[in-house]
Amino acid sequence: MKITYLINQYPKVSHSFIRREILALEKQGFEVQRIAVRGWDGDLVDEEDLQERGRTRYILQVGFMQLLLATLTCLFSSPGRFFEVLRLALKMGLRAERPLPIHLVYLAEACCMVPWMRQAGSRHIHAHFGTNSAEVAMFASMLSAIPYSITIHGSEEFDKPEFLWLNEKIRRSTFVAGVSSFGRSQLYRWASYADWPKVQVVHCGLEPAFHSGPAVPVTSLNRLVCVGRLCEQKGQLLLIDAVHQLVCKGIDVELVLAGDGEMREPIEALIARFGMQDKVRITGWISGEVVREEMLAARGMVLPSFAEGLPVVVMEAMALRRPVLSTYIAGIPELVIPGETGWLFAAGDVDALVLALEEFLATPIATLQQMGETAYDRVIERHSIDTEAAKLAKLFRASQLSQEQAITAPRNITG
């Protein structure tokens, strides 16, 4: 079966889970066409991402004239479908996060990808994230009569579901995948009850190569790693504050911030204000292999997030047998079990974070090692990429079968 994956930006350093999913589906016999809105010129560090870039077609790379030509072609070849989509784009643009002209651009992007899908013989469209990529996929589906589905991660989609027209995107899809039970519950909030059966849980998966090989014992160093984009929702400023409090108490601790992002400057300023340049290191963007090395060199991973879906880095740390310290939000408690696989603390509470860090640093290495083993067993059971890709494959095939049955069903002719 040939399917089209549509992503806003692909490949991307922080979206390696999409690459793993595509490659796992291809192992199961699917032919996957990669289409992205942008990403042909992004900074990449993984060799696999560089290879994926060569397999991807980019909508905005074609330029304005090609987008206009594709739009006119759709208009004159299928005027009925085109005006149906245009009406929906105008309706959505009147009450949305982004202004009306942007939704007309989404329509043009959909027009651009329709001939690419037909040329490839695609039978299904799958979009990651419920934002603009889902809207483009919905428009492309309406223009081409190729069914579509979405994987919705959160937290952005759950922050502004009405302005993203989440209900409309769910209603017109064949299925929607949430990456956790929490995510499914949030989709239930915004989907019509009749559409609840469409909402499934398909976890992000880990490939065996990431955690294969002999187990690396937990280090005796008081080193913590925080992996993620440097941004408001990840809570790194709160973490710097907490580490400063530990240092002031005379507790030996070292923190590695593995990642980069828009909050790097204020984070560096706070580190300098506390005089902790020798205690905190920021790596910048690094490859998946270097992330793995940083996790293995740490005693545990801390992620004091304010908003999440279900972070892939939590799964990765657990797969490397490292305890995780994180917050009681979203899908994180579905993986991190206090006292068994890590610590959970209240989001936004620096005192609770300090207490969790103190308890973690005071825990004997042997206990941390056992927690790491329990974490490994739990995440491997729940987040195997081949198992999760098989769930998606079943949903794709069911969608195709339903489409074929709808086409071949006899019409009820009266009179």
State yes or no: pLDDT of 47 exceeds 90: no
Per-residue model confidence (pLDDT) at position 33 = 98
Q: Alpha-carbon distance 412 to 390, whole Å?
A: 37
Arithmetic mean of pLDDT, 93-114: 95
Architecture of domain 2-205+384-408: 3-Layer(aba) Sandwich (3.40)
Query: pTM value?
Result: 0.91
pLDDT digits (tens, 9 = 90+) for 220-251: 899 999 999 999 999 999 999 999 999 999 99
pLDDT at 45 over 80: no
Q: What is the CATH number of domain 209-382?
A: 3.40.50.2000
18, 46 Cβ separation under 8 angstroms: no
pLDDT in tens, 375-401: 999 999 999 999 999 999 999 999 988
What percentage of the chain has pLDDT greater than the value 90? 88
Torsion angle of C-alpha atoms 400, 402, 405, 411, degrees rounded to 10: -130
C-alpha to C-alpha distance for 220 and 361, rounded to whole angstroms = 10
Tell me where in the chain the CATH 3.40.50.2000 domain(s) lie. 2-205+384-408, 209-382
With CA atoms as reference, report the closest residue to 257 among 213, 312, 303, 215: 303
- For 246-259, write each residue's pLDDT tens digit: 999 999 999 999 99
CA dihedral 3, 212, 329, 157 (to 10 degrees): -20
Nearest to 279 by CA among 251, 305, 300: 251
Q: What is the pLDDT of residue 412?
A: 54
| 285-332 residue pLDDT tens | 998 889 999 999 999 999 999 999 999 999 999 999 999 999 999 999
Give the pLDDT band (50/70/90) at residue 92: very high
